[in-house]
Amino acid sequence: MPDRMPSNVPDKTGGAMSTTKMPAADQIWVSTLNSRGDFPAGARGAAPVRFYDTTLRDGEQTVGVVLSPQQKLELARALDDLGIARIEAGFPRVSADDAEAFGLIARAGLRAEIWGFARAVQADIEEILRLEARASVIEVPASEIKLSAYGISRADSIRRAVEAVKFATSHGVKVAFFPVDGTRADLDHLRALYLAAVEAGASEAVVVDTIGACNPEAVEFLVRKVCEWVGPAVPVHFHGHDDFGMATACAIAAVRGGALWIQGTINGMGERAGNADLGEVALALQCLYGIPVELDFSKIREVSERVRTASGYALEPWKPVVGENLFVRESGAVASQFHIPEAIEPFAAALVGAKRSIVLGKKSGLDSIDLKAKDLGLSIPQDQRNAVLSAVKRRGIEKRGLVTDAEFQQIVAQHPSR
């Protein structure tokens, strides 16, 4: 991955780029075969991959999710604390609530850059200016499918892009050009769009997989092409969706192709199957590929929970990075290895601010009840261990779930030494 980091992008402290602390080797237990990959020369040890969070805009497009301006402000503060370099504070022209939230976030004194979102429409940009924003994505439809849906010709899309970018940049707004559904666009037209936008003043370019229609190989190819088209002075982003469950893999491929910024959301929330999950992308880049990233992993689960609670949806307990089951063990066979975390986990719980624990149920074994008893300060008579285990399994089957600590204490109390 070539070093394409622009000199005018501040770090979170407003000075030179911040340093990124890699996890200790004793916190990561992944395959040594990973080092045999052919990540482009220079990628390891290069400038950190940075994250552009769109939870407050694209994430809120999750069906049924409505975030109040105050909730958005609180989440923006959490994102800033997490180490997100850029926060897309919303699409201010869409509603008065969005404009209010944008204003609150812009005035909050966060370390992250605050970005807006606008269509290639002057009124959208005027609202960005009214709120005194200094940076914005500007979108225009790119694929034949989208152009047809909007009744816009290729020439119209280029004209609109040029006019909007010129208007924004002439008023001091930094622009990242965002051709919607670019991964399904004709390559000649897509190239013409990017070049026209850059010539008009766009300083950054986004490769946009609007409906998750690309495989990782195609993303890498397209990102590399866009890097060639726009040249080394224009940083390239990747914005992907998860309709085929490939958003994380596609984001990794985008970095292979030369992208320096990954756009996504916390928990992968968003329309349909959602966006690229920034926590997943960051952990995979750093732990599996040795690519430094700017993110405080120790806070990712806390921020995940705050976003989930504010949004009112549930997460799969087995979800990577933030799922509640990742460091919880019920199986007796696994519990017997609990004292050696690397035998049953690929990275340390502490790396992502989690705690390891044993739970009891149908699948428990003798090691499970011993560990739980020790955790609770209980003593199980040696001659009652099998009976206690049988009672635990029976209770788990009866309730079709886990045995609570209180239930376990009661079971132990019912099995004194004979």
pLDDT at 41 over 50: no
Where among 259, 278, 311 does a domain terminate? 311
pLDDT at 43 over 70: no
* Residue 62 maps to a domain: yes
* Residue 97 maps to a domain: yes
The residue assigned the tokens 């119209």 is 156
Question: To which H or E segment does residue 408 belong?
Answer: helix 405-413
* Residue 145 maps to a domain: yes
Claim to verify: residue 161 and residue 204 sit in the same structural domain: yes
Where among 286, 311, 336 does a domain terminate? 311
* Residue 2 maps to a domain: no
Claim to verify: residue 360 and residue 307 sit in the same structural domain: no
* Residue 140 maps to a domain: yes
Claim to verify: residue 239 and residue 105 sit in the same structural domain: yes
pLDDT at 15 over 60: no
Q: Does residue 137 contact residue 117 with C-beta atoms inside 8 Å?
A: yes
Q: How many residues are given for the chain? A: 418
DSSP 244: T
List beta partners, residue 87.
Answer: 53, 114
* Residue 349 maps to a domain: yes
Residue 279, judged by CB atoms within 10 A of its CB (0-12, 13-18, 19+), counts as buried
Quick: pLDDT tens for 309-345.
999 999 999 999 999 999 999 999 999 999 999 999 9
> What domain range is 353 assigned to?
328-413
DSSP 26: G
Task: Give the start-end residues of each E strand in 269-367.
Answer: 328-329, 357-358
Claim to verify: residue 217 and residue 343 sit in the same structural domain: no
| Pure H helices in 107-173 | 122-130, 144-150, 154-170
* Residue 22 maps to a domain: no
Claim to verify: residue 146 and residue 233 sit in the same structural domain: yes
pLDDT at 302 over 50: yes
Claim to verify: residue 144 and residue 46 sit in the same structural domain: yes
Where among 311, 338, 364 does a domain terminate? 311
Quick: pLDDT tens for 228-276.
999 999 999 999 999 999 999 999 999 999 999 999 999 999 999 999 9
Quick: pLDDT tens for 398-412.
999 999 999 999 999
Residue 415, judged by CB atoms within 10 A of its CB (0-12, 13-18, 19+), counts as middle
Claim to verify: residue 262 and residue 399 sit in the same structural domain: no
- Please report the pLDDT score of residue 418 as a whole number: 72
Residue 91 CA to residue 117 CA, distance in Å, equals 5
Q: What is the CATH number of the domain that holds 114?
A: 3.20.20.70
Claim to verify: residue 387 and residue 264 sit in the same structural domain: no
pTM score, two decimals? 0.89
Residue 201 CA to residue 191 CA, distance in Å, equals 16
Claim to verify: residue 365 and residue 278 sit in the same structural domain: no
Q: How many domains does the chain have?
A: 2
* Residue 98 maps to a domain: yes
- Please report the pLDDT score of residue 387 as a whole number: 95
- Please report the pLDDT score of residue 117 as a whole number: 97
Distances 298 to 74, 82, 262, 279, 321 between C-alpha atoms, Å: 19, 9, 20, 11, 11
